[in-house]
Structure 1
């Protein structure tokens, strides 16, 4: 045998042996028999500094040489899978809180997690990569305290009470993550650590100095519960500064409290662009360079940077520079990376799909009939009957129903913010038509939210030439966020409307321009609005008449005079940054008034007026040009004036009027409370909201939602918005008279309470007490009661009363059930101004009932006498 042939045989033998050895011995990071921690440590050890820097961004880059796919950490799931196309849309978070039903909350979150898994499977590319809103790291829930109803993002929270917020938050997190920490269904992220609740316009530079009492008693308990009870996987730190330090660099919270004292082992992500705020002169200006900003945040405990391309802190080279400049050690960077990769391994994001405990979930398991049924049940349980003089449930079948108002046929009013897209949305109008198929149900908008009513501009109004001989408009489609440069496509269309990404409704960043002529049919003033997700501009005869490129609302500031039959050049430019499907140009014609609404009302047996707000008026850091609104927040709690005027005219018809409020914050509907027979708080009720409202009106179920916040009579009753001291705020410290108190909600049946029973009436400081009471459905209708336990202590630092327990119970007519609560030492204690939790001697007043202890609320009271004193842990 020749030497060459011998060498070839030997080489072949080596290759034959090498293949199975390699296949049987994968690298540690690829070995599924190892712990996620070990795999994470191994893959981090193989990354270069530059690769590491690219992994701490929310859009973590792929590393092909390690078969590491790209991953986008940014995913929203506040009340359903958001911004990823069709999904089951549950009531907005504040509406979920209004159910006061923690088992339901956990079921809702479990369904949301299933839909995240389904979406992730459907979106994954061949190499396992996913883009924004396609992953399994869910940036929810928001457990900030809704301390002031003017805050536009309060709709995202569970209301004003730390105990209710804690219970709802824990349930939601457990539902999202599932029961097995080794294999979480998704990874929840609780936000925003910690003292964060507006104003929106100032959040990038506000420096908040909360008292020790308010920190421990109000702002931090829900975070403590999320971490120690629910074992949440992620935390998002806030934009604002705390005691002079940006929140994402505030070590007393980020490191000392959360990680050292509470034992948090998960990852911390910054709010988006919060790290840039460290150095930007228009923000905190806490440090001078982006490298210093990265170093301060990561030393404090931040692991992941959510940011935008315009900021230098989002450039991986900035992190590389910070390490090379000695501001941040590579070992500190590695600690963050191990935490990030560890949760990716536990979620199964770095292994083959369709394996593991969730292998049974299919890519089509979203927006299913079963999930929508749960959304309907949840919407029904979230509705709060604020007032009822006997009109509801409506007796018999009305022949004619007039459904009026800006929210009567609005999908926007169903979904709130941070929302998905309901494939079969049921508006109030649609719900009433379905519930009363034999009635004549008429919809007339009657008024816009803050301006005259709008309607879609018809195809017949548009022309391609000044003589109006050729219908349609020229459409130019641009790939970038602004209509600049050469369009990627040009065509002719019949109207200024678009369905972005249809039929998939996939989010994209693009822009369009329509141009041509418009010919009105009426003479007078016109207002224009484009119903897109982002900015728009409208030009008439080359004059800019609506510049709303960076403003969320409303229409053009002033009416544009146009003559009937005359043609005018028109140009509409619009940007798109979301995924909502239907966008189009609307106008308010000179004849737009409430004439049609009044005619429909005069002819009706029942008037349903759907009023309130939308997430385009209240929300996250946006510009709103309308009276009563500022920066996404509210300056007034009243109904906008156009709505108030119309409802007064409807009432003057002497026809029965049901007011349905759709909003995410408290409304001061004082006039309606005095004059209308029935008021329903529907929140932003989700895709099935219209069915739920119609069924409540018809009496198909007895309402049992309860307010998770105080409805004040006026914003004038409140301290200044920017004052974070809790004195004078929420039911716990507000000494005035509320319009509707926290915990309020009416029913179609009545409940009675027996005497409060205590297993001991006298206790030594630190001893628990068990209380129980018999609750009876004394009416003729089956229904739910929300049994609420309040504790009151005397003392300068004590709240007026505080919720310490609740349970939603279903009782058939005539049924009695015993409801019990444990009152531990913490529930009996107060937090003083020094931040000490103390239990002092003296009486402890108890109230168990269907709301707070007010004259018209059924319940039972008792007293515990405490002897001795005791200092307790803060949490």
Structure 2
């Protein structure tokens, strides 16, 4: 027995931090004790990764730039190594497919393990808001489309698929989900969010984090989910990306912080700061947010990473630090562990040597990074299998899931005289700039795609009808006002029985657009691309750009039934369509299978059940417009109603649902079970999304007139009835009082249950003693 034990001990590494049988904390402490100041700072650097490899035939090698980076800076992370897009200048021919990506990751890992003093493996961080932003990965609907499913179960599956594809290729950190509340549709990044509501955002965000691994880094496909952006980034002044945000402390605690807390409780181990400032303090230098709240109060044990070059922004954009070293000191002192970009934190060495930053503060950040590397098992298993990645990235299961999510997201806004679903015997004129434009289906943060991978609406309809039944004319572009073929579009419409016009916007980046250092696009008058949305493309209006409105009016004049489908990254102006079109749908950015999903809905192979995750305004003059505003009730403007054109939670079906038999029973003094019945009373099988809203009638601080608390999406065959139950807990009745304490006050609460925020079918009240 002694001999066996001795033999086993002989096989274990003599160096403590390399011994996998020891506790992680022991290994971290040992490794930290061996590191020089330069090596410690290196672990906090996350430089741009796409220039760190070279492809030679069918193999990948570390580039000279990478070798120099490791020599000079000893970097412990890379960002966007596998990223391909016009900004990185990586194309289908010059970028990495899944098999080459694994070879790149393996080559970089091998180099640092074999050519550095301590052999610490790299963290590879990748963009993944709606799929891994890499060639060959599955492209799901963007965040706003995922939220429109109102299905945490479905989004949990998406998280699993994204995490698996990243880890198969050798990545470890996923940037996403985006938990910013979007209250201003002029803002360019609405498409990345889960909408305007904290409860819907929290539930969808939690599901995504659970799918990405839920913080269990021992699982082979778990990633470090990175929550973006901390904090209140989506309500920037004037809708301008990165502008200051204005919100009271109570408002932050009531609405903007809860989705992050929920996702962290679900296992998220990384949080990204935001470019904006609040109350004069840049979020990347906000100690009260990043340390006092996140670490001390919430006990967050993960890492905080700056947004790209946001540490530089403390000095260069916000002008609160006169030097870069001062900006660096502010960021680390506030609680920022990792420098995305990797230039700012090079100033830490001088700051530590001169005593302006303590070694203890530096060590704390380094230890957090190392701990997560150990927990993920990178010291034992740093390499991945190219053949497995080649076979399993964008698998048939993932593609099917992309279609299911796209189907579930599509939201029917109008269906006059039950025009939809269409009979497959009709002749269709398919018109519009988004009817057959592959990249306009995908949204921002998407890699280049093989043409056959993306299904447009034309592809979807052609798969259902004979070629003689479909006539396609583009009509016009999204933004270009010079090149149009509206006359041909009208002629095609006149030859048809029904018109399907696919209009909207685009976040499709191209090689003509200029980009900032941060990757945000620069809008200019010289470049007439389709792009009117996506990071940096803020809008002053929400109207259709180019000649799209002219196209719609010309099509309407033919007298043929008109269906308008919006492909969009933000809620565009739908006033004309709501009054003049026979049917209106939004499909958001539906991803690679979006065209098939839209055709499925149009022709009745899928009954739509998407619900709006935001309010659709009548005018930009109403902004900010969101359903859960605080009292008092809004009054109408001189020119128009104060109500939205389409409210939060709204969406139609081809069938109808009746609500009945509301029952309320107490479980505990401040906990209740709500039950009711929903019956499918129409002629189609379909899904309903039941929504429960709450209102505190009188409180010590002003409360929302209506706040979503619970929701459920479920399927009912025609004629079928089911009982739905929700549990109202003490948390649901709580508020943030005048002392910023979360409490439950005695009082009367209205309980409202229905199919949308403006479509309440059942009501009751409950008294909290």
Q: Structure 1-normalised TM-score?
A: 0.73
Listed as ranges, the gaps of 5+ residues in structure 1 are 1-17, 121-134, 454-587, 720-727, 868-875
Change (3 A) 1:418 1:270: same
Q: 1:74-223 residue pairs with structure 2 within 5 A? A: 74-82=125-133, 84-120=134-170, 135-178=171-214, 180-183=216-219, 185-197=222-234, 199=236, 206-223=243-260
Q: Structure 2-normalised TM-score?
A: 0.82
Q: Is the 8 A contact 1:204 1:274 kept in 2?
A: no
What is the deviation of 1:325? 1.6
Matched with 2:711 is: 806
SS in 2 for 1:86: coil
Q: 1:635-674 residue pairs with structure 2 within 5 A? A: 635-640=540-545, 642-674=547-579
What is the deviation of 1:42? 2.4
Change (3 A) 1:420 1:787: farther
Q: Distance in 2 between matches of 1:439 and 1:665?
A: 35
Aligned: 1:263 with 2:299 = yes
Q: Which of 392, 400, 404 is equivalent to 1:373?
A: 400
What is the deviation of 1:800? 1.2
Aligned Cα root-mean-square deviation (Å): 2.8
SS in 2 for 1:435: coil
C-alpha distance after superposition, 1:213-232 (max 9, x if no partner): 2111111111111122x121
Aligned: 1:244 with 2:280 = yes
Q: 1:816-835 residue pairs with structure 2 within 5 A? A: 816-832=721-737, 835=740
C-alpha distance after superposition, 1:386-409 (max 9, x if no partner): 110134434432453222111111
Q: Is the 8 A contact 2:692 2:751 kept in 1?
A: yes
SS in 2 for 1:611: strand
Matched with 1:313 is: 344
SS in 1 for 2:227: strand
Matched with 1:126 is: none
Q: Is the 8 A contact 2:121 2:382 kept in 1?
A: no
What is the deviation of 1:420? 4.0
Q: Distance in 1 between matches of 2:381 and 2:334?
A: 35
Between structure 1 and structure 2, the one with the greater Rg is 1
Change (3 A) 1:707 1:445: same
Q: Is the 8 A contact 2:626 2:648 kept in 1?
A: no
Q: Distance in 1 between matches of 2:165 and 2:273?
A: 26
Matched with 1:594 is: 486
Q: Which of 276, 284, 289 is equivalent to 1:253?
A: 289
Change (3 A) 1:659 1:749: same
Listed as ranges, the gaps of 5+ residues in structure 2 are 1-5, 48-74, 77-111, 635-641
What is the deviation of 1:36? 3.1
Q: Is the 8 A contact 2:182 2:235 kept in 1?
A: no
Q: Distance in 2 between matches of 1:360 and 1:450?
A: 43
C-alpha distance after superposition, 1:481-508 (max 9, x if no partner): xxxxxxxxxxxxxxxxxxxxxxxxxxxx
What is the deviation of 1:421? 4.6
What is the deviation of 1:74? 3.3
What is the deviation of 1:646? 0.5
Matched with 2:583 is: 678
Q: Is the 8 A contact 2:217 2:223 kept in 1?
A: no
Matched with 1:340 is: 369
Aligned: 1:29 with 2:80 = no
Matched with 1:772 is: 675
Aligned: 1:863 with 2:760 = no
Q: Distance in 1 between matches of 2:289 and 2:214?
A: 27
Matched with 1:323 is: 352
Q: Is the 8 A contact 2:236 2:276 kept in 1?
A: no
Change (3 A) 1:202 1:702: closer
Matched with 1:732 is: 629
Q: Distance in 2 between matches of 1:666 and 1:242?
A: 26
SS in 1 for 2:212: helix
SS in 2 for 1:149: coil
Matched with 1:396 is: 423
Higher helix content, 1 or 2: 2
Q: Is the 8 A contact 1:397 1:439 kept in 2?
A: no
Matched with 2:654 is: 748
Q: Is the 8 A contact 1:782 1:811 kept in 2?
A: yes
Matched with 1:417 is: 444
Q: Distance in 1 between matches of 2:396 and 2:379?
A: 31
What is the deviation of 1:660? 0.7
Matched with 1:484 is: none
Q: Which of 116, 131, 137 is equivalent to 1:65?
A: 116
